[in-house]
Amino acid sequence: MSASAKPAYQRILLKLSGEALMGDDAFGINRTTIERMVDEIIAVTELGVELAIVIGGGNIFRGVAGGSDGMDRATADYMGMLATVMNALALADAIERKHVTARVMSAISIDQVVEPYVRPKALQYLEEGKVVVFAAGTGNPFFTTDTAAALRGAEIGAELVLKATKVDGVYTADPFKDPTATRYSRLTFDEAMVKNLGIMDATAFALCRDQKLPIKVFSIVKPGALQRVILGEDEGTLVYA
């Protein structure tokens, strides 16, 4: 990448699913996968971009999912929040090992482990060039980490919410099943709703739409895709107001 490359965005919110950390494993964290992601994250911060991350917990929770059958929904959701804290700690540790400062902020109180989410402090960390990892979703059951990403993105004044997936954008059909499926380069929120594309859960999508906070869906497993998104290249699918 050219040293003179200029980012199209100065502050972004990256939504990572827990499953993205699994690699080819059935559950848990694949060390090779997380290190590759961290290299891409650091490459973005080196462009001068302020980066916050919301991370899911599906990869950890998947390992105990069988025991959660029949469990009270709120209890299961709190277990999921704890899984996101575990992922956030692992991600922050991997970032720190690359000599970049990361801070984990939790929406639920676990003071001995991570600091609580406080918006002014999060903004201060971002302005100082630290990577901020938001854990525990919104801190409330019945809300997904998609909603947490939309909420935190709006709170920190992010210019873009990046939804990292295993597919390089939103397609007219499932690209794994239909070879004729084509990728949307851009969509309005209204078009995405009419087409029922399921980009985020309804609460998160509505929040982004109301706040006019664009969403970019891209592949986290495609080498260099994150940098290309940040540089404003035609990578993934942009959903905008």
Residues in the annotated binding site for ATP: 15-18, 58, 62, 165, 171, 174
The annotation places the binding site at 15-18, 57-58, 62, 77, 138-145, 165, 171, 174
CB of 47 closer than 8 Å to CB of 5: yes
Whole-angstrom Cα distance, residue 50 to residue 136? 21
Whole-angstrom Cα distance, residue 157 to residue 153? 6
Give the total residue count for the chain.
241
Whole-angstrom Cα distance, residue 41 to residue 60? 22
Q: Dump strand ranges (E) for the chain.
A: 11-16, 50-55, 102-106, 115-116, 131-135, 160-165, 170-171, 183-184, 186-188, 215-219, 237-240
DSSP 143: -
The annotation places the binding site for UMP at 57, 77, 138-145
Which residue shows structure tokens 């918006």?
119
